[in-house]
Amino acid sequence: MCYFGGMPRQKMPVDITDLTNPGLYVNRELALLEFNRRVLAQAQDEDLPLLERLRFLCIASSVLDEFFEIRVAGLKQQEAYGSAQRGPDNMSPTEQLGQIGERARELAEMRYDVFNNDLLPKLNLQGIRILDTQDWNEKQAQWLKRYFNRELVPILSPVGLDPAHPFPEPLNKNLTFIITLQGDDAFGRKSGKAVLQAPRALPRVVRLPDSCAQGPNDFVLLSSIIQAHVGDLFRGMQTTGCYAFRVTRNSDLFVDEEEVDDLLRALEGELSSRHYGDAVRLEVSEDCPAELSAFLASQFRVSREDLYYCSGPVNMMRLAAIPDLVERSDLKFPGFSPGLPKSVATGVDLFASIRSGDILLHHPFESFVPVVEFLRQAAVDDSVVSIRQTLYRTGVDSAVVQALLDAANNGKEVMVVIELRARFDEEANIELATLLQNAGAQVVYGVVHHKTHAKMSMVIRREGRTLRRYVHLGTGNYHARTARAYTDYGMFTCDPEIGEDVQEIFSQLTTMGRAGRLKKLLQSPFTLHRSMLEFIDFEINEAEQGRPAWIRAKMNSLIEPQIIQRLYRASQAGVKVDLVVRGVCSLRPGVKGVSNNIRVRSIVGRFLEHTRLFAFGNAGSPRVFLSSADWMGRNFFNRVETCFPLEDDEIRARVMQEFDYYMLDNTQAWLMQSDGSYRKVAQGKQRKRTAQLQLLQELSEEGTL
């Protein structure tokens, strides 16, 4: 099934001999919207459990929100400043914004159509009801009236609009109402309009109690409660209309790192501005009169193209509370317990296990607990003298952080590199940095102009007369919650050369010296990009000599133009290139004479695909790497990233077999077309193959689901 009809596409090139031809590149922003469409397709998939479909609908809404907050906001700034900057596709900011508007509007219409005409009726049939005002019986109406007076009235603060009360600035993405009024207030004012912000502390979904509900899962949205009773807030006046709206703002933070002495304090000062950045999108309920919508647009200084009408809740992400509130296992994905290999089982001496050989874990199919246990054992081991750790996204209350705190309190030398600029986690990371410093850990914030995105943990242990380094390297963050939702690899090793490389990278992050040569790891911004190009060139040479040559890679995004051009050259030389790219892919596969030998597929399933794997044929002795980096310019040139080799034969073979599972997936896979669209893989008469399910069956504790 294909979910991509009627969208304008960039024209294909006539001259395909020039590999820099803009027609050979898919625009990054439009590719991201295509990913959003694939997520939305999960909400349409009737083979998925009903509450999971609702969850995917909410995820699609959230992904689109961030797209406007960051990507659209950036384009609008470029347009405002008259920027001539263009990407490999050669689209101007104005051209991109035009196409984004068309596709984003279409996605919004699809989202509400799925919710109103598909999910909502099916939820009702299952006894999960979202009751609108007209659905309330007398008993429910009375309870909701009492709820409004008890829980809402004390904290709701409507603002009447007049010269003394100018239009307030609603918080970014916050539920807000524009209210029309008739009559005079207590002071004889006739403003005719008021604005009411719903405090963020209020739940957006309210479950009706057993005393008045007709079933265990009757819910009412906060917006419905407010709209039904808003007149009570304006005594002596008549409320003639109440319409929900939401404004999305520019949420990118700007800190001039060359002009600040303390990055932490500078970021603290910028965080509040995220709530009140320039408006980039205005969403209003579809029943809002045109003149009132125009009034709102003028207040936020947005154009008509930035105005979106919503035929349902203006913030669908808030509906994500419902699957968590409803105890219906038959309407959710089956539960599972991540596998725990014997070598890392609870109670095992992890350092002894690592000395016996490298250990690979594939989350969430296999447990994240050994990663935490690695640090816990280090925190209480008298032989451990030092722990070094990078943290990008983790959360203050995480078990990883607690283990580091325990280690510091036990007198270990603990050094933590915290990336303060991890988008939308800045505030949590500032709190985390303060917490660790207060415990006696040494905390550094990485390198100016280069985000520290590498995932590294190193324990230095005294064993006899020597110091041995034990290392964990991963493709994902040290975050136990996302380790249950994202697919990521993590590897334990005490290989001396890898340990030396990791120590060298930590030294780069904490000192001002020049980068030393690494023995086994590849690193951004120094060697990773160059090495990837060299490995591709080797395959090109093999193919040109008539020998078998192949490249297999899995990542979140493929954007960097030099890599894409080299992959085109590889395809032209006859190299077989298989790519699994979850999200944005700017490369066009299947273009005659350019990319005939390149296949690109995207897997969208229960878990967010997050592993990065790069493999090259290497004349029969495959090179296989795992990495924290995608093939994007920012990962190659503006971040500190690691890419580590798999040298154990069994581990290397296992990872390549698991890659094959993704290439054979005919259930959750999408094939990218040369025009940038995607087609769902047709199962046909083949037996059903689902990579994530197969990995659950092989690696989880259940064995079979």
Q: What angle (nearest 5°) sits at the alpha carbon of residue 132, between those of residues 129 and 133?
A: 140
How large is the average pLDDT for residues 643-647?
A: 98
Domain boundary among 59, 89, 112: 112
Considering the domain architecture, whether residues 432 and 327 belong to the same structural domain is answered as no
Give residue 298's pLDDT band: very low, low, confident or very high (50, 70, 90): very high
Query: Could you tell me the two tokens for 120?
Result: 């909502």
CB 291 within 8 A of CB 265: no
Is there a domain that residue 170 lies in? yes
E-strand stretches of 381-538: 384-391, 413-418, 442-444, 451-452, 456-463, 466-474, 486-493, 522-524
Per residue in 333-385, pLDDT (tens digit) is 999 999 999 999 988 999 999 999 999 999 999 999 999 999 999 999 999 99
Residue type, 343: S
CATH code assigned at 176 = 3.30.1840.10
Per-residue confidence (pLDDT) for residue 257, from 0 to 100: 38
CATH code assigned at 93 = 1.20.58.310
Per residue in 138-170, pLDDT (tens digit) is 999 999 999 999 999 999 999 988 765 688 889
Considering the domain architecture, whether residues 456 and 539 belong to the same structural domain is answered as no
Per-residue confidence (pLDDT) for residue 611, from 0 to 100: 98
Per-residue confidence (pLDDT) for residue 429, from 0 to 100: 64
For helices 93-114 and 28-44, the axis angle rounded to 10 degrees is 0
Per-residue confidence (pLDDT) for residue 511, from 0 to 100: 81
Q: Who has greater pLDDT, 200 or 54?
A: 54
Is there a domain that residue 119 lies in? no
DSSP string, 554-585: EES-B--HHHHHHHHHHHHHT-EEEEEESS-B
Is there a domain that residue 412 lies in? yes
For residue 124, how many other CB atoms are within 10 A of its CB?
13
Burial of residue 638 (number of CB atoms within 10 Å: 0-12, 13-18, 19+): middle
CB 409 within 8 A of CB 437: no
DSSP string, 590-614: T-TTTSTTEEEEEE-SSSEE---EE
Per residue in 403-458, pLDDT (tens digit) is 999 999 999 999 999 876 545 455 666 777 778 888 888 888 877 778 889 999 99
For residue 31, how many other CB atoms are within 10 A of its CB?
23
Is there a domain that residue 6 lies in? no
| pLDDT, the chain, mean | 90
Q: Is the pLDDT of residue 7 over 70?
A: no
Domain boundary among 66, 90, 112: 112
Considering the domain architecture, whether residues 511 and 533 belong to the same structural domain is answered as no
Residue 204 belongs to domain spanning:
143-331
CB 172 within 8 A of CB 209: no
CB 246 within 8 A of CB 177: no
Considering the domain architecture, whether residues 556 and 476 belong to the same structural domain is answered as no
Per-residue confidence (pLDDT) for residue 330, from 0 to 100: 97
Per-residue confidence (pLDDT) for residue 5, from 0 to 100: 41
Q: Are strands 238-249 and 413-418 parallel, antiparallel or unpaired?
A: unpaired
Give residue 465's pLDDT band: very low, low, confident or very high (50, 70, 90): very high
Query: Could you tell me the two tokens for 674?
Result: 């040369």
pTM summary value: 0.91
Half-sphere exposure of 226 (CA within 13 A, CB side): 29
Per residue in 101-127, pLDDT (tens digit) is 999 999 999 999 999 999 999 999 999
Q: Who has greater pLDDT, 261 or 615?
A: 615
Closest CA to 582 of 596, 602, 606, 554: 602
Per-residue confidence (pLDDT) for residue 1, from 0 to 100: 38
Give the C-alpha separation, 635 to 637, whole Å.
Answer: 6
Report the chain's terminal Cα–Cα distance, integer Å: 26
E-strand stretches of 234-365: 238-249, 279-285, 307-310, 359-363
Per residue in 227-253, pLDDT (tens digit) is 999 999 998 889 999 999 999 998 864
Query: Could you tell me the two tokens for 471?
Result: 């290392």
Considering the domain architecture, whether residues 170 and 276 belong to the same structural domain is answered as yes
Considering the domain architecture, whether residues 64 and 157 belong to the same structural domain is answered as no
Query: Could you tell me the two tokens for 403?
Result: 């283990």
Considering the domain architecture, whether residues 387 and 431 belong to the same structural domain is answered as yes
Catalytic residues: 453
Per residue in 309-337, pLDDT (tens digit) is 999 999 899 999 999 999 999 999 999 99
CB 54 within 8 A of CB 323: yes
Consecutive H or E run containing 35: helix 28-44
Considering the domain architecture, whether residues 479 and 579 belong to the same structural domain is answered as no
Token pair 């069956």 is at which residue?
Answer: 697
CATH code assigned at 580 = 3.30.870.10
Percent of the chain surpassing pLDDT 90 = 77
Give the C-alpha separation, 695 to 581, whole Å.
Answer: 18
Residues 6+ apart with CB under 8 A from 62: 317, 320
Cis peptide before 22 (omega within 30 of 0): no
Considering the domain architecture, whether residues 36 and 60 belong to the same structural domain is answered as yes
Q: Who has greater pLDDT, 482 or 550?
A: 550
Per-residue confidence (pLDDT) for residue 166, from 0 to 100: 81
- Which stretches within 439-551 are classed as H helix? 496-510, 528-544
Is there a domain that residue 694 lies in? yes
DSSP string, 147-161: HIIIIITTT---EE-
Q: Who has greater pLDDT, 161 or 255?
A: 161
CB 628 within 8 A of CB 454: yes
Per-residue confidence (pLDDT) for residue 425, from 0 to 100: 52
Closest CA to 316 of 482, 173, 124: 173
Domain count, the chain: 4
Considering the domain architecture, whether residues 554 and 628 belong to the same structural domain is answered as yes
Is there a domain that residue 123 lies in? no
447: which DSSP letter? B
Query: Could you tell me the two tokens for 109?
Result: 């219409």
Is there a domain that residue 138 lies in? no
Closest CA to 77 of 234, 246, 254: 254
CB 192 within 8 A of CB 182: yes
Per-residue confidence (pLDDT) for residue 261, from 0 to 100: 43
How large is the average pLDDT for residues 29-54?
A: 97
Domain boundary among 458, 489, 520: 520
Q: Is the pLDDT of residue 610 over 80?
A: yes
Give residue 187's pLDDT band: very low, low, confident or very high (50, 70, 90): low
Q: How many residues are listed for the chain in this entry?
A: 705
Is there a domain that residue 121 lies in? no
Burial of residue 261 (number of CB atoms within 10 Å: 0-12, 13-18, 19+): exposed
Considering the domain architecture, whether residues 503 and 516 belong to the same structural domain is answered as yes
Give the C-alpha separation, 105 to 65, whole Å.
Answer: 13
Residue type, 418: I
Considering the domain architecture, whether residues 397 and 313 belong to the same structural domain is answered as no
Token pair 């509007």 is at which residue?
Answer: 105
483: which DSSP letter? G
